[in-house]
Amino acid sequence: MDYKLSIKRKKYGVVITFISLLSTVLIFEYGRIEHWSFVLRILQLVSLIVLVLSITFTYVKTGLWNFTHKPIEKLDEREVALTSKSLRLSYSIFSVLVLILLMYFSIAERPLNIVLVVSLVLFAHLLPASVIIWLVKHTKKM
């Protein structure tokens, strides 16, 4: 990890990342329904830029992305326990969220679009590291 952030700043980064991910999806949905205007295109671009920057600084440069995607053989006992807990919590959250979204789209008889699907895949990959940020009380390894 070549870039140090306090836990508080990492938490802000997580919030910014998820807000920009949600805004990217919502702006795309709105633009698709209401036809794209210049302002919507600019908002979409800004949202995507904020998303990429927040992922880069909160997850990639701090090493959190690599930590949650590291083979289990390269983790010590404490890291295995932390990763296991974060995966269990994050995929419980993810499963419930996806079920709610699928039920909504089914009841509303709306088609799923690729932006939503890609965002959900990205969300699934970011969630374990995000849970770790909220679970860790110190910054020794993170």
Give the burial class of 135: count Cβ atoms within 10 A of its Cβ; 0-12 exposed, 13-18 middle, 19 or more buried. exposed
Q: Is residue 2 part of a domain?
A: no
Q: Is residue 96 part of a domain?
A: yes
Share the mean pLDDT of the chain.
Answer: 89
Q: Is residue 29 part of a domain?
A: yes
Q: What is the pLDDT of residues 117-139, one digit of tens each?
A: 999 999 999 999 999 988 876 54
Coarse DSSP helix, strand, coil percentages of the chain, rounded to the nearest 5 percent: 80, 0, 20
Q: Is residue 141 part of a domain?
A: no
Q: Is residue 69 part of a domain?
A: yes
pLDDT score of 3: 58
Q: Is residue 140 part of a domain?
A: no
The DSSP string of 69-91 is TS-GGGS-HHHHHHHHHHHHHHH
This prediction has a pTM of 0.84
For 98, the domain range is 7-135
- d(CA 32, CA 124) in angstroms, rounded, equals 24
Q: Structural domain tally of the chain?
A: 1
| Residue 63: pLDDT band with limits 50, 70, 90 | confident
